[in-house]
Chains A and B, each alone.
Chain A
Amino acid sequence: MTQYMFLLYDSEDYDNISAEEWERQMKLHGEFSAAVEAAGARVFGGEALQRSSTASTVRQGSGEPLVTDGPFIETKEALGGFYLIEAKDLDQALELAKLVPAGNVEVRPLMDTSEGAGPPA
């Protein structure tokens, strides 16, 4: 089994989202989680994020860390949430990623940082 993070990128255009639409979205995510379990894979983490305009960035360069407003994105789609998934292999992870109710899903393997693990491949 390999562990992956699914990074969910989508439009943040949900100013006037209705209660029904919200419920529908949550239901879709519930169905996604059920599909993962049904496939013999596992969700071991995941959260939705507040919109990117609520974010702050701490920039670490030379000298004092600098706190600024927001991330610096030019694209229409922002990181809106994530899942942590354990799957058999990348093929299974990609099949599951196709079921995520989000515009784009970046599938990224997690790095092993446990004791005894070597530097990343």
Chain B
Amino acid sequence: MSASAREVVEQVDAAHRECWSTVLASTVRLTRDLDLAEDCTQDAFVQALRTWPDGIPRNPGGWLTTVARRLALDRLRRETNLRRKLPLLIEEPSAGEDDEQPTDPLRLVFTCCHPALARQAQVALTLRLICGLSTPEVAAGLLISEPTAAARITRAKKKIAAAGIPYRIPADEELPARLDVVLTVVHLVYTAGHVAAGPDLTRADLTGRAIELARMLVRLMPAEPEPQALLGLLLMTQARGDARLSDDGELVLLADQDRTRWDARMLAEGVARATGALRRGQGRFALQAAVAGLHVTAPSWEKTDWHQVVRMYDAMLLSWPSPIVALNRAAAHSLVPGADLAAVLAELDALGNEPALRSYAYLPAARADVLARLDRADEAAAAYDEAVALTANEAEQRFLRRRRNALPVAAAGD
């Protein structure tokens, strides 16, 4: 049965979101060559656009995997240096050339997060290879320039190939040490999807992929508290997803969200996982999940236990100091009843010197909020403008402009 051009484009688009990493990971398992696997995965999607008008396959992911792996084998056989590459073909496809293994994406994650790669390269590579993000999207997600993102990805791929970084899930005894990096990267993937660049507020493919990866890690390491904590954190964030947007598609802050619109089942699972993780340790994600838990179990924004939230951030700063944590701490501090807002503003101003926050929209947005509450409307307006210029997300931009235009002094809007 033939399909309309529009239907084909939609299906290929959906497959790209849902199947990219499994197709790529399965092809990498065959070729052990990231660049070749990536090219062939890309080509498989191009072939889908050409072939699917004659009929969309019932299992698009399987179809794409078969095509990508066949393309890869053809190219390997054609290459003049075949002899050099043959030993790398550890697993010749046997029964079914299109077989996918459920742990393939996880293997690819551990490869991307190998400790011999720089942390920044690990994250960029995971976004590119596991999530199929384009280089501009990777750059936007990591607050870096496009050439920097491209260079990081290229260098990391070259090192994986030249240094022989293996494509496997680490052995049991190595897992804990390798885990923290992976969790950080999965969290960053979620964040990149949670506030995506472009017209849509979120990219469900990224958030969904991150949650799926977190679940995989929990299954793989049931005794480790941190994967549980990360999964709990992601679920609690995800459960609030619908309430983040108003009926007319505008961004609604946690403070103003209709709590009855939160996904109760997802929240319950998130809280349970976070609580379980906290009982077994106070790792980085356990503390973050604790903050999320304080938010979702509070009867209202105002009645959130802000003292406790600040204490959790203090604990985080002690073990894992980072400018972003300091920013969150300052924002929570500003909400403690009777907080010294001038002191909070000084905290935020000091963070302005942090290179990592220089292009981070939340810093001027937080400053704007505190300035507005200090009745310094002109400065607040300038800070909102700064924040608008820094975010690539249109819903966020509209939200920030609304806040700016609601300031008491009639500062000229745009």
A residues with CB within 8 A of B? 1-2, 4, 87-91, 93-94, 107, 109, 111-112, 116-118, 120-121
Contact = CB atoms under 8 A, between A and B. Distances in A.
Given A94-B116, A121-B158, A116 B164 contact: no
A99 B283 CA distance: 31
B84 A90 contact: no
B116 A90 contact: yes
A107 B115 CA distance: 13
B412 interface: no
Interface in B101-125: 114, 116
Nearest to B33: A121
B139 interface: no
Given A90-B116, A94-B116, A116 B162 contact: no
Given A90-B163, A91-B165, A91-B166, 18 more contacts: A2-B163, A87-B164, A89-B164, A89-B165, A89-B166, A90-B114, A90-B116, A90-B164, A91-B170, A93-B164, A94-B116, A109-B163, A111-B162, A116-B81, A116-B84, A117-B81, A118-B81, A121-B162
**Most-contacted residue by chain B among A94, A112, A117, A121 (CB, 10 A):** A121
A22 to B, nearest CB: 33
A77 to B, nearest CB: 20
B260 interface: no
Nearest to B32: A89
Interface of B: 80-81, 83-84, 87, 114, 116, 158, 161-166, 170
A2 B80 CA distance: 20
12 contacts: A4-B164, A89-B164, A90-B116, A90-B166, A91-B165, A93-B164, A94-B116, A111-B162, A112-B84, A116-B81, A117-B81, A118-B81
A90 B165 CA distance: 5
A87 B165 CA distance: 11
Nearest to A92: B166
A88 B88 CA distance: 11
Contact of B80 (A87, A90, A107, A116): A116
A117 B162 contact: no
B164 A109 contact: yes
B88 to A, nearest CB: 10
Contacts of B158: 121
Contacts of B166: 88-91
Nearest to A111: B162
B36 to A, nearest CB: 11
B87 to A, nearest CB: 8
Q: Which 5 A-B pairs have the closest CB atoms?
A: A2-B164, A89-B166, A89-B164, A90-B164, A109-B163
